[in-house]
Every structure is written in structure tokens, then in C-alpha cells.
A and B are shown apart, each in its own frame.
Chain A
Amino acid sequence: MTEPGLRPGMRVRVRERPVEGHVRTPFYIRGRLGRVERLHGRFPDPERRAYGGSGLPPVPLYLVRFRQADLWPDYAGGAADSLLIDLYEHWLEPLGDGHGA
């Protein structure tokens, strides 16, 4: 069992891992800066299950929040608008509990 290494409120960067295929992290969010909103729990890794593996041990899955204005340079909505997305821990690089982002 992998213990969750991240906590709500922590700043993270989405890793730009050079992987393709059945991957649950879309390209538009790779390399982006966000903040952990909540831990969903641990789940068998679908990125290994898709290729015949058990996906075990289960990996922590987080809901991570990003400012829309940080994702799209031409974002037309409000400054408070955000995007939340489910990301597995191996996709997240912790940046600490600092403020900003």
C-alpha cells in the first residue's frame, strides 16, 4: 500500500512523463501548476492494469485544482474560475505548502 505523499493545500506541478497509450493524465494539464484539493483514496493503477498488470499496490488519487487563467492564455471567464482534475500521485511533483499559484 502506497501511503499518500501529498496533502490538501499543497502546491504541485504535473509531471511531463513521456508516456503514451492508456494514460489518465491528459496532455493539456501536463507541466501545469496547481494545488491539491482533496485525496480521493487509493486505486489500482489503471495505467498498468490496461496492459495486463494488476495495478497493485494501489496508487493515491487526488483531485487537483488549477486556475483557468493559468491554463489558457486567452481564457475569457472570471479570474476565480478553476479547473479540477483527478490525477494519480506518480504524475504529481510536490512543490510544498507555499502560497501563490
Chain B
Amino acid sequence: MAHDHDVHAHPPGRDHPVREWEAREAAIRGLLIEKGVLTADEIRRKIEEWEQKSPALGARIVARAWLDPAFEARLLADANAAAAELGIDASGVKVVALKNTPSLHHLVVCTLCSCYPRALLGLPPAWYKSKAYRSRAVRDPRGVLAEFGMALPPEVEVRVVDSTADCRYLVLPMRPAGTESWDEPRLAALVTRDAMIGVARVAAPARPA
């Protein structure tokens, strides 16, 4: 072939030296394109598709569960089917929803890599993939939560869920007080990514409803 897949250690026009895994990705991508397995446009479209998913999808599911106890029951029994009811495609991987209550709090981590409910929350934040979070969330969840600004009283049971395999977990946070008259879009706007990972509560609205 006229070209090769060598990657220079300090190439010009780069923000930083090429890391080992970047070089590997570039080499594999180059081979897949060269051999006609994938086109550059197909790879670009897949990246675009994943980057367009956002926590707004999960937030719609949470808001509906807050408003409709029957939907909440279906969500806890089969989260993929519940998402499909709202037109959200989470068919690629099994998702399990975990309900927080005043006496039970869930925190999600993947100690092995970065397993995350991407179909419902988009791409994970950098801290979720960090070794610090992955190693400490399992052995000191209350300390980690306190660093996120969420100190839990001892009487609240903490359940850490290590998503190591073929399931992804979505935390169903508690509905904040002061939202009793709110409709679904307004509730969904309150629900944050971090609350659905379990490192934050959904904050009560700042102004009276």
C-alpha cells in the first residue's frame, strides 16, 4: 500500500503527544476503512448518533414515572419496554431502573471500565471513567457522595451497583417537594444526569411553583 499506519510520537498539528490507545484506534479505523468494512462516513454518523443522545431522554422517563405510578411499576419491571412506550430506543442493551426512597439510595459505577446507560443518558462524564471514582465508589460510597455535595445520614441505606456486565442501571431519583402541580416537561427539566447516576438529588425548585 502507498501509505502505512505509523503514528508519530510528537506529530505536528496535534494538541498533545499521541497516546497508545489513540494510535491503536487510528490504526484499526484505518484498516477497517481500507478493507472496505466501514466507511469514514459511517463512523462519523455513529459518533454523531451517540453524541446526540443526552440525559434529556432519561429525564423524560423519570418525569413520567413521577406522574404515573403504573408507568413507574412497568419501568421497575422492564426499563427497556418502558422507554419504548415513550418512543425512546434503548433496545441495544438491557437497562434496569433502581428506585431511590427516603430510606434507600443507589449509586452506579462500573469498576472495570465505563459501562453506562448511554441510550438514556448519552456519553458518560469524564469523572465516571476516572480510576478515582471507579475504585472509591465501591469501598467508600458515602465519602464519594459527600464530595459530590450529598452527605447522607447513617439511617439511609446506600446500595452501590457495579455494572460490570450486560446490564446498565438508571437511578430513579426522588421527586422534590414543591413540584406537586408540575407537568411532565417541567418536571423533566429538573432531572439531571448526576441524579440518574446517583451522585446527586434532584434539587427542589428555587421559586414557588
Contacts and interface: CB of A to CB of B under 8 A. Distances in A.
Main secondary structure of the interface of A (DSSP, over half): mixed
Given A76-B143, A77-B154, A78-B154, A25 B164 contact: yes
B160 A80 contact: no
Main secondary structure of the interface of B (DSSP, over half): mixed
A95 B165 CA distance: 23
A83 B165 contact: no
Contacts of B165: 24, 40, 43, 46, 61, 86-88
A25 B112 CA distance: 8
19 contacts: A24-B165, A28-B139, A40-B165, A43-B166, A46-B165, A61-B166, A71-B139, A72-B139, A76-B140, A76-B143, A77-B154, A80-B157, A81-B142, A82-B160, A83-B160, A84-B160, A86-B165, A87-B164, A87-B165
A76 to B, nearest CB: 7
A15 B22 CA distance: 35
B141 interface: yes
A41 interface: yes
Given A24-B112, A26-B111, A84-B159, A75 B164 contact: no
Interface of B: 94, 96, 111-112, 138-143, 154-167
Contacts of B158: 68, 77-78, 81-82
A77 B151 CA distance: 11
